[in-house]
């Protein structure tokens, strides 16, 4: 690997994947080198262009992915292949976007391929173990990269540390995700009390004093929307003389991430 950044690519990719799991699942996760992936696995292939050029491949063990589904979506989570692909797509999109924001990988573009259930990853892989709660997600990663035409002059920058354990050794410190930058972005949140459909004739006759039936009871929960997409149901309350809402029901973490994607 010719680029100074290329040898750091796989640990950085796994670190961003762990940070995405932490952000979506709300669970503490540690990363250690070592482990293994047995049998079939979920595999993502990606193409790097820009600062680095080449290909990479990441294989995750299916048992770990199933445990991840339960952690993120709950004990009664759908564990079908379709649900696994959806979750892994969300996680990898977050991880790849965050990785490309790092100063060490400025100018890098990562294009993910389809997530497929395949045989175990080939030899010449680097093994990682991502531990969350009582579960471990095993990952086998391999990359063939060289410096591209847009490699940055600055290879690293100061950022908060995250915990990472070397195989058979003590915990060490590695950079955390730039998801903290994304988390500071402000998004529009609105409340929908109800909706109805009216003909053009009825709309043209509306005037001061007109009453429009919204087709809902005053006691029905309202919808909380982010970027126009519903993420929760709530009841209306008064906060310091102003209207507010108390959340009573939330959509899944994946649905909330999808609602934000259009603004990130």
- Same domain? 195 vs 111: no
Q: Is the domain of 165 the same as that of 193?
A: no
47 and 175, same structural domain? yes
Helix axes 81-101, 9-25, angle to 10 degrees: 120
- Supply the pLDDT for residue 169: 45
Residue 208 inside a domain? The answer is: no
Same domain? For 238 and 156 the reply is no
Answer yes or no: is 247 within a domain.
Answer: yes
- Would the pTM of this model clear 0.85, i.e. be above it? no
Domain for residue 174, yes or no?
Answer: yes
> So what's the pLDDT on residue 171?
43
Asked if residue 115 and residue 172 are part of one domain, the reply reads: yes
**Residue 248 contacts residue 233 (beta carbons within 8 Å):** yes
> Where in the sequence is the domain holding 30, given as residue range(s)?
6-183
The pLDDT assigned to 1 comes to: 36
**pLDDT by 10-residue block (mean), the chain, 264 residues:** 60 88 78 70 88 88 88 80 85 86 84 78 72 86 78 40 44 46 73 87 89 83 85 86 85 68 53
pLDDT at 254: 66
Answer whether residue 108 is part of any domain. yes
Give the chain's domain count: 2
Beta strand 126-132 with 161-165 is unpaired
Same domain, 170 and 227: no
Per-residue pLDDT at 170: 42
In angstroms, the CA 14 to CA 12 distance is 5
Q: Tell me if 204 is assigned to some domain.
A: no
Q: Do 45 and 145 belong together in one domain?
A: yes
Does residue 195 share a domain with residue 124? no
Same domain, 59 and 81: yes
CATH number at residue 233: 2.30.330.10
Residue 56 lies in a domain: yes
Do 34 and 66 belong to one domain? Answer: yes
Any idea which residue has 């209306």 for tokens? 236
CATH number at residue 84: 3.40.1550.10
List, for residues 85-107, the tens digit of each pLDDT value.
888 888 888 888 888 888 888 88
Same-domain pairing of 84 and 156: yes
Segment 186-196, tens digit of pLDDT: 778 888 888 88
Residue 225 CA: distances (Å) to CA of 132, 190, 245: 30, 5, 12
Same domain, 102 and 123: yes
Q: Does residue 209 sit within a domain?
A: no
In a domain, 35, yes or no: yes
């Amino acid at each position: 690997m010719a680029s100074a950044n290329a040898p750091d690519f796989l640990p950085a990719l796994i670190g961003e994947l762990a940070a995405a799991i932490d952000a979506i699942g709300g669970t503490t996760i540690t990363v250690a080198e070592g482990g293994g992936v047995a049998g079939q696995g979920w595999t993502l292939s990606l193409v790097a262009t820009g600062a680095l050029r080449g290909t990479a491949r990441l294989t995750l063990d299916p048992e770990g992915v199933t445990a991840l589904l339960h952690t993120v979506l709950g004990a009664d989570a759908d564990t079908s292949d379709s649900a696994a692909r959806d979750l892994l797509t969300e996680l990898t999109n977050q991880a790849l976007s965050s990785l490309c924001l790092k100063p060490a990988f400025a100018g890098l573009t990562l294009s993910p391929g389809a997530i497929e259930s395949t045989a175990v990853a080939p030899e010449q892989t680097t093994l990682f173990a991502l531990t969350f709660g009582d579960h471990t997600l095993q990952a086998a990663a391999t990359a063939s990269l060289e410096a591209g035409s847009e490699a940055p002059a600055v290879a690293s920058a100061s950022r908060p540390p995250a915990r990472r354990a070397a195989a058979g050794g003590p915990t060490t410190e590695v950079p955390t995700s730039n998801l903290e930058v994304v988390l500071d972005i402000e998004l529009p949140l609105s409340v929908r009390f109800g909706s109805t459909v009216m003909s053009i004739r009825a709309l043209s006759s509306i005037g001061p004093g007109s009453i429009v039936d919204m087709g809902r009871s005053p006691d029905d929960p309202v919808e909380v929307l982010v970027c126009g997409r519903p993420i929760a149901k709530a009841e209306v309350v008064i906060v310091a003389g102003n209207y507010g809402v108390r959340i009573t029901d939330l959509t899944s973490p994946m649905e909330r991430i999808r609602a934000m994607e259009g603004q990130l």
